[in-house]
Structure 1
């Protein structure tokens, strides 16, 4: 194995674990949600609003985190994100006012998630991995988020039942702090030399303004942004509200927790397969199919009585489709505008994802307070799934890149 291949494996393994911890900490809020109103004094709608702000801040900060990682490397950005995540969780544990809860769980954790999220980690892996293995490695790394969901969904419930809400947050914070040490292996990523970086910056069409202008005037890039909005809407709603949905259906809360774990388990398969498919076929076609199937699965919950078996089956289907959009979307960004600025450009696409997350969480919180059920959310999820399936079809993901 060559030195470059060894470095790629180290970056992949470290990135996999960092994403596992960051997404595991994020999914814990869904597990904790049914217990949080009594423990904090805030109703579900108010908590959903803070988590929606977290997703919006995450998306707004993501292009800047991606730009920093493109320029200075992913390791220092991810290290700062892991430390900030730990601090934010620890402050959240002791938040006694809604303002402090919003500042920690909403703003601090949103910024932390951006620094340790997909665009930063996947850009490092993409830069280091050979063309032949890039799709597969991006799929494996994306599965790290699913692995974290699989492990931390039941583990968060164990923390909650064993230690209570405050100490459960503290334990999650300690795990994030320990994960910061993994960034030493991310430093092995392939980065341009100073001469190459200066030459690229000086090349015609490679200034920040020109790169952004070219991307934002590209219809295919804008369609990709519109489709990823739907992904965020689906993921945030289901990740946070599935346990509460299970309770409203007369099922034990543990059914929803197991459902989140099943989503994580099946998505390990889904993301790896998606990454492999993206390396062999045009990404827009599997992306369109994924969104269409999500919409069908959401619509099915309106017509099928929800039992524990149905909930787990739904979770398995959604799991196969969960984060499988991420390696395909990242590949599409690189195909449209090249790998040099993929961290920043994927960050812009990801901001749309987080706007969708914000709207999904706000809508879910309002609907549950007003109507006492999630029926309208499942209808909206189905309609948006069809919309995303259609908007991906015109994307020109087979164009030949022209040198700047």
Structure 2
């Protein structure tokens, strides 16, 4: 295992990586279910909760860049261990914080940093390095599908934990559960990242970053990903409260989020598989256009449990299906040497969108008494993102000479 040219088995990488994403993303997707229990019990506004969630997404994006750099340089193993410990501390802090400030620091900054070290940028870096280009997009689709399955698996579990144990004890149980990432991380110890022989690099992180910022297609992918974050985090955090405001039971919201996760298993897997055969820019444009249409129809038809379930199933198929083609396109253009860092930067744009989506949802609800404006913004941005992705060029970038590391 000390041979730097040797690779981990694909089964080992996929099983460990997919299980880590299942835990990390599954817990994260359920945070919207805590909005009303926490705000009602603590006497806080929805904007207070939404601000903490917005900070979490921004923290995830900021730390994702540096987590990606550390993963590219030292391997994913150490980053995953640190991320799991921070996640456990953050969830405990979310349960026990007595003030909005401490709630924002733990739920926001700490959990955001933890997610940066336990989700896609780090796991996709391992996949990119350990799996051949012929199967890379498919493998990324498998990992993204695992995160979606985590949402399907964890939503009912988290709902039952809140119901039976109360929201604080439920978070403490999740704090212990997320530590399962630690033993799984041992399955992602890559050859060449431990011991005395680091992987030889032909390009420094600084040169790779500067090269990407000068490349128009990278900026277009980054801009499109902003919209993805805005849409999914607004819906994921605020839809449970939106449904309860319209007289639907909490169980409808719980089932809706679970359906999003279930159908996203198929959506992400299919998008990853199609990414091996089709232009990724066409896949991305279709997803964003389709989201705009689906949200429009949802707002036009009468709201009922049936309309919610149909919407959840269709939007679920489009939910994280942007993740495999976006990251596979980055790998295809720039190679895998700095994939975690570049994926982290693209994801930072996603998290800026997430910040605005979740915060504006809370702010505009508190000021107008309605989520309507944010729903309309999600539609317009979906159309814009579809147009932005069409001119992306996916071919490998031409480099005159390699830059020294």
TM-score normalized with structure 1 length: 0.94
Structure 2: state its 5+ residue gaps.
none
Q: How does 1:283-294 map to 2 (within 5 A)?
A: 283-294=280-291
Shift of 1:255: 0.8
- CA distance in 1 between counterparts of 2:7 and 2:87 reads 31
Task: Name the CA shift for 1:196/1:92 in 2 (closer, same or farther; >3 Å).
Answer: closer
Q: Does 1:14 align with 2:16?
A: yes
Which position in structure 2 is the counterpart of 1:311?
Answer: 308
Deviation at 1:193, TM superposition (A): 9.3
Q: How does 1:36-47 map to 2 (within 5 A)?
A: 36-47=38-49
How far the C-alpha of 1:358 sits from its partner, in A, is 0.3
Gapped runs of 5+ residues in structure 1?
Answer: none
Where do 1:3-402 residues align within 5 Å? 7-188=9-190, 197-198=199-200, 200=201, 203=202, 206-399=203-396, 401-402=398-399
Determine if contact 1:336/1:401 at 8 Å carries over to the other structure. Answer: no
Range with bigger deviation, 170-179 or 156-165: 170-179
Deviations 1:343-363 (A, max 9, x none): 000100000000000000111
Equivalents in 2 of 1:21, 1:374: separation in Å? 30
Tell me the C-alpha RMSD between the 2 structures.
1.8
Partners in 1 of 2:165 and 2:194 — Cα distance?
47
User: Structure 1, residues 201-226: CA drift from partner, whole Å, max 9, x if none?
Assistant: xx4xx122221111101111111110
TM-superposed deviation, 1:398:
2.8
In the aligned structure 1, how far is the partner of 2:343 from the partner of 2:35? 30
Asked whether the equivalents of residues 364 and 377 of structure 1 are also in contact (C-alpha less than 8 Å), the reply is yes
Give 1:39 shift. 1.8
For residues 224 and 193 of structure 1, the distance between their equivalents in structure 2, rounded to whole angstroms, comes to 36
Structure 1 stretch 207-216 or stretch 229-238: which is displaced more?
207-216
Residue 40 of structure 1 and its aligned partner are, at CA, apart by 2.1
Q: Distance in 2 between matches of 1:399 and 1:136?
A: 19
> Separation in 1 of the partners of 2:311 and 2:175?
31
CA drift of 1:132 comes to 2.3
2:225 and 2:195 mapped to 1: Cα distance?
33
Give, in angstroms, the shift of residue 179 of structure 1: 2.6
User: Secondary structure at the residue paired with 1:197?
Assistant: coil
When the two structures are aligned, how many residues end up with a matched partner? 397
CA contact (8 A) 2:21 2:147 kept: yes
- Give the conservation status (yes or no) of the 8 Å contact 1:338–1:401: no
CA distance, structure 1, for counterparts of residue 156 and residue 47 of structure 2:
24
Q: Report if the CA contact (8 A) 1:297-1:314 is conserved.
A: yes
